[in-house]
Amino acid sequence: MTDKPRPRPARRDLKRRSQLAGEAAAASTEVETALEHPADPTAAAFFDVDNTVMQGASIFHFALGLYRRKFFTTRDIAGAAYKQAYFRFFGVEDPEHVAEARNSALSFIAGHTVAELEELGEEIFDEAMAHRIWPGTRALAQLHLDEGQRVWLVTAAPIEIARIIARRLGLTGAMGTVAEHVDGVYTGQLVGDMLHGPAKAEAIKALAEREGLDLSRCSAYSDSANDLPMLSLVGDPVAINPDAALRAHARANGWRIRDYRTGRKAARATLLVGAAAGAVSGALAAGAALRRSRS
C-alpha cells in the first residue's frame, strides 16, 4: 500500500496565515510616545523598507553583521548574498528564497534572547545601515510628520530591526515579521507568516481600525509590485525606486513615481550585477580569510 501524497496547504489557510502575520505586526506596533495628540489623526503614511527607505535588503545587512559576530557560517552568508544579488538584479523576491530565508533565519535565532538581538541590531544599524538610507525617501517621511501625520514602516524584516530603523529616523513606529518568543527567548517559530505581500495589507487594515485612520487619506510607498495589496489600500500610493512591474502599474494608474537611484540608466544593469557580485565575492573572501586565520 503506497502512501498518499500530502495535500498542499489550502489557499484559505495561506490567507489565514497572512491575516495572523498582519494582526501580529499591528499588535506589536510601537505607537508614538508623544503625549500630544497628532494634528492630523486620521491620515498616516506607510513605508516599505528594502530599496524604498534603504538601499538593499535590511535583513541581509543584519545577517552579515551577525555573521561577523560568528552567529553562523560562511556557507550561510554566501547563500544570503546570493539571494540579495537576485533581489537587487531582478527587483523581486523569489517565493522559494523568501521561505528559505525565513527558515534559515529562525534556525539561527532560536534560543537567543530578544534583548540580545535588539542590542546587536543597534550596533549593526550604525555600522551597516545608517549610510544606506535614501535621503529622498527620508525627506518624504519627514513631510508627513511635519503635517502632523503618523508614519509607520511596514516590512518583511523582523520587527526588532524595523523598530530600530523607525526609531533612528524619528518615525512613529514599525510593523514587521513577528518571531515567537517565550519569556524573552525565541522559539524558532513565526506568529502567522512573514509580513510580506497580502500580509502587509492585513497589518495596515488592522492598524487603521485600531487607530481610527481613514485609508483614503493615507499614503503608502514601496519599490515592489509585491506590495500592490498595500499600495492599493490607500488614497495616495507612491512608487519609490520601482521595479519594472510596479513602474508600469504606477504609470497606468497615474500614481506618483520617485526614483533616487543613479540616472545612468544605460549602465544600471551593470551596476546591479557588479554590486551583487561584490556582495557574493566579499562573503567568500571573508570566509577564506577566516579559514586562513584558523590554519
Given 3, 13, 50, 223, which residue is catalytic? 50
> Residue 125 is placed in which grid cell?
544599524
Answer for the pair 217, 185: CB distance below 8 angstroms, yes or no: no
Phi, psi at residue 193, to the nearest 5°? -140, -170
Question: Angle 97-262-155 (CA atoms, 0-180°, nearest 5)?
Answer: 35
- SS3 annotation, 141-204: HHHHHHCCCEEEEEEEEEHHHHHHHHHHCCCCEEEEECEEEECCEEEEEECCCCCCCHHHHHHH
* Residue 261 CA: distances (Å) to CA of 142, 223, 253: 20, 12, 22
Closest CA to 154 of 93, 223, 72: 223
Identify any residues that bridge with 54 across adjacent strands, giving them in sequence order: 50, 133
Q: Give one DSSP letter per residue of 66-135, joined into a string.
A: HHHTTSS-HHHHHHHHHHHHHHHHHSS--HHHHHHHHHHHHHHHTT-BHHHHHHHHHHHIIIIIGGGB-H
Does the active-site annotation cover 50?
yes
> Residue 87 is placed in which grid cell?
533581489
The span from the CA of 198 to the CA of 19, in Å, is: 8
The span from the CA of 111 to the CA of 126, in Å, is: 25
Given 48, 76, 223, 243, which residue is catalytic? 48
CA dihedral (247, 205, 92, 286) positive or negative: positive
**3-state class (DSSP) for residue 25:** helix
Does the active-site annotation cover 146?
no
Q: Where in the sequence numbering do the catalytic residues fall?
A: 48, 50
